[in-house]
C-alpha cells in the first residue's frame, strides 16, 4: 500500500507527465501524427487547440493526447503500476517528474503574482 509522501510524489509526477504529453512543445512530435492544430479567434485573440485526426486507433490516440483528463488516467495508471511492480526504477522516474511538477506549479504561481 502506498501512503503519505509516496502519494504526493505520484500525484505531482502524474500531473507533470500528463502536462508533458498533452501540452508541452517538446513532445509535440508525439502528438503530431494524431492531432491537428485548429485556430479560433475569440474576442480578437487567436486561440489554438488540438483536434483528433484520422479514424480508428489514430483518432483514439488523438483524443487521448488532446485531453488532459483522459491522459491523466493513463499516466496515473502507468506511474502507479510501475511504482508497485518495479519500485527500484519508478521511484527515480516519479521523483524527477514530481520535482519538475512542483517547479512548474511554483513558476505558474509566480507568474500569476507578477501580473
Cβ neighbour number for residue 19 with a 10 Å cutoff: 19
Q: Is 36 helix (H, G, I), strand (E, B) or coil?
A: strand
User: How many angstroms separate the CA atoms of 49 and 59, rounded?
Assistant: 15
Residue 2 is predicted with a pLDDT of 79
Q: What is the torsional sign of CA 18, 68, 101, 21?
A: positive
Residue 70 in contact with residue 64, Cβ under 8 Å? Answer: yes
Residue 97 is predicted with a pLDDT of 98
Structural domains in the chain (count): 1
Tens of pLDDT, residue by residue, the chain (115 residues): 778 999 999 999 999 999 999 999 999 999 999 999 898 898 888 888 889 999 999 999 999 999 999 999 999 999 999 999 999 999 999 999 999 999 999 999 999 999 8
Cα 73 from chain centroid (whole Å): 10
Residue 34 is predicted with a pLDDT of 96
Residue 48 is predicted with a pLDDT of 86
Residue 87 is predicted with a pLDDT of 94
Write out the residue range of the structural domain in which residue 110 sits. 4-114
Residue 88 is predicted with a pLDDT of 94
Residue 3 is predicted with a pLDDT of 87
- What pTM, to 2 d.p., does this model score? 0.87
Amino acid at each position: 500500500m502506498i501512503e503519505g509522501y509516496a502519494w504526493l510524489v505520484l500525484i505531482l509526477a502524474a500531473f507533470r507527465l500528463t502536462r508533458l504529453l498533452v501540452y508541452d512543445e517538446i513532445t509535440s512530435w508525439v502528438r503530431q501524427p494524431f492531432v491537428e492544430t485548429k485556430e479560433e479567434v475569440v474576442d480578437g485573440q487567436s486561440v489554438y487547440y488540438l483536434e483528433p485526426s484520422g479514424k480508428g486507433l489514430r483518432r483514439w490516440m488523438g483524443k487521448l493526447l488532446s485531453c488532459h483528463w483522459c491522459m491523466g488516467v493513463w499516466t496515473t495508471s502507468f506511474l502507479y503500476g510501475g511504482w508497485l511492480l518495479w519500485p527500484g526504477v519508478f521511484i527515480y522516474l516519479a521523483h524527477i517528474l514530481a520535482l519538475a511538477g512542483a517547479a512548474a506549479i511554483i513558476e505558474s504561481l509566480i507568474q500569476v503574482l507578477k501580473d
